[in-house]
Structure 1
């Protein structure tokens, strides 16, 4: 890599913007294929971000292919509970939110429930990651052989390709498409997330509903999820951290009006919702102290398949992957699977380019497939979110009609 300088295109690295799961998985895949790359992270350090957990199922073989040989054996330690072996088939139970009656049992597998922080820590090993690098602009060499990323600290980096893996509110997407077209789309739904430990007796009771995850739809047009987030000691239930939320229909006007709410107000709203819920949500929120930190999120999406959303990749010099190109709602549990699939397919395209394939042709083909697949999932995900918050239509949800498999395109 050259900072504040240039270098011949043939020997330049791939530049990856963002050290989230997708960017790191791609970087590991390129490293495994002996393709030099550098990752740029806008934050000043690797730590300090919010942590959450994600479902990996049909995308697991792709993630394994991106990892160095032997690393997949370490995936068990990245799960929310590393002490519970992954089953070949597992069941996501859906309850009716007010009565607790079983609505559906969706079987799929193998299913990995991964902690984002632990997965990022694993995938960061052995990589060249530069911190405090916030992307400001992109320029392209006149000969079409290189691209330069310009950062707010005044430095630059020149590479053979620039890949935006910088998340749902991607700066790279806004640079490539302009602020109006590239800005995330807000939709009228919201959720407040809680991560909390409980007493031994409380923890054992809450976990008795399912060892890892549980979902419900409520006749009040709410959706809810409950699951594990961290089990450092299998024999000490008071050390377990649970992760849970209730989501609801929230107009954009309401989101704007309440944007200044404190954590106390957000949690009070969740507690009020939970009064009409069955357990484990009702008890978990009753047992959560009023001053517990929470995390509020208005739901968003961005459909790469919409007219005007196809960006100019400048002959294959600039592209995007993961949430930067197809941010989706999360009730259907597909985001990580599509993101690692993007990384795997871009790795394959880069290998072909290294072997002599025309860069423009290879990147266009990669983007065509990703946009068709990811765009379809964005639309399915948003449709699913709408349906699971509408009690009269809830059983039409793609989660019930398609289960956890990926959308057909």
Structure 2
């Protein structure tokens, strides 16, 4: 049974503590609220607003996310897509084209496929939750009787709950608390990408969108990979309000990444424009039409494999665990991250319901973790292999993207 505590003479059930208010943590919180399990969410940032926004593919994980949402909320899924004006098809096609010629290399048919704005998804999932901001985790302590766990924050406050869940992203503080800085450190890999979000004139926007209404990928013989898609279609009747999202990624050694760490946006964009000269449309024109002083977003790619030796954490008799990017951050070219993360949330919700009903906490949380590690760790390895192969023209057809499409 769940631990009880006395507050002002009233018996209350200890809450589940969730660190991180990204999509995974919020989806879990909504699932717990729906199941009647109290929870608190803690976020290190001062508010929900983020400087950067991106979009994510949801497909095989959609039924799990729906199960976590309160009844009726799934009806809002259309409104949080990159283009809420285009109804989601039962089946859609994602094309991989040859980057220099535009020739179709592969057509992947699957569905339904949802392309969600991260900011809109988080805003929806934040509703009716108790979220405390400016809460940066500093330490974790455990009750000797294994009935509670306490999260300590840098501002001197603390919170005690029945379970602590790390949903705090790829550079998770909870992962560092559990494994130490060396084993928990994110793994840098020799690939990089520079992302651009941009509006264009009406005529330019109509031209760019004719290649595909939502998303398009390409592999180039120069060992580069590129993506082009919608990020926000504010007004269906005014193409000048549409924001496109595009990038070119490339093999970039860690030495190169370190040497260019101080580059300004203009240098990043100039590099992308040089790459784009050898690409077909829509990339060629999109980069030509992007002003040289446009803001960009650069990342060196990373992963962290929970299946590696030394990466299995002690869950302290089921009092602490992790979900989402905190436990299996992966590269993004195959579009699996959100699907695995919401699956983690759904399976952990189920585990916590079982514990409430009398199941052993240590055994139940350990079983949840073993499945997640096998599933998510396999995807991390698949994702990194996929990234490597998509940037090797002679081996593109061996990539998981080419062989398995979007299937898990």
TM above 0.5, one fold?
Answer: yes
Partner of residue 106 from structure 1, selected from 102, 108, 120:
108
Quick one: structure 1 residues 323 and 8, their matched pair in 2 at CA, closer, same or farther if it must change by over 3 Å? farther
1:279-318 deviation digits (Å, cap 9, x = unpaired)? 0001000000011110000000000001110000000000
TM-score by length of 1: 0.97
Does 2:314 match 1:312? yes
Please tell me whether residue 284 in structure 1 is matched to residue 252 in structure 2: no
> For 1:151 and 1:282, how far apart are their aligned partners in 2?
48
Tell me, in whole angstroms, the C-alpha distance in 2 between the residues paired with 1:260 and 1:313: 39
- Contact 1:9 / 1:145 at 8 angstroms: preserved in 2? no
Deviations 1:132-172 (A, max 9, x none): 00011101011111101111111111110000000011111
Task: Say if 1:202 and 1:139 are closer, same or farther in 2 by CA, change over 3 A.
Answer: same
- Structure-to-structure mapping, 1:232-381, within 5 angstroms: 232-381=234-383
Per-residue deviation at 1:8? 11
Contact 1:7–1:158 (Cα < 8 Å) also in 2: no
Q: 1:345 deviation in Å?
A: 0.1
Q: Is the 8 A contact 1:322 1:340 kept in 2?
A: yes
| Structure 1: segments with no counterpart, 5+ residues | none
Q: How does 1:138-287 map to 2 (within 5 A)?
A: 138-287=140-289
Change in CA separation of 1:205 and 1:362 when aligned onto 2, cut-off 3 Å: same
After superposition, the Cα gap between the structure-2 partners of 1:158 and 1:45, relative to the gap in structure 1 and judged at 3 Å, is: same
Mapping of 1:384-403 within 5 angstroms? 384-403=386-405
Taking only aligned residues, the RMSD between alpha carbons, in angstroms, comes to 1.7
SS of corresponding position for 2:195: strand
2:48 corresponding residue in structure 1: 46
Asked if 2 retains the 8 angstrom alpha-carbon contact of 1:80 and 1:113, the reply is yes
Q: Residue 84 of structure 1 corresponds to which residue in structure 2?
A: 86
Does the residue aligned with 2:138 lie in a helix, a strand or coil? strand
Q: Once the 2 structures are TM-superposed, how far is the Cα of residue 49 of structure 1 from its aligned partner?
A: 3.3
Measured in 1, the distance between the counterparts of 2:110 and 2:12 equals 45
- Matches of 2:262 and 2:87 in 1, distance apart? 42
- Pairwise CA distance, 1:50: 1.0
- Taking a change above 3 Å as real, the CA distance of residues 206 and 6 of structure 1, as seen in their structure-2 partners, is farther
Shift of 1:97: 0.3
- 3-state SS, counterpart of residue 224 of structure 1: strand
Gaps of 5+ in 2: none
Structure 1 residues 353 and 6 mapped into 2: Cα distance closer, same or farther (>3 Å)? farther
Runs of 4+ in 1 over 4 A off after TM superposition: 5-10
Output the CA distance in 1 between the equivalents of 2:106 and 2:165: 40
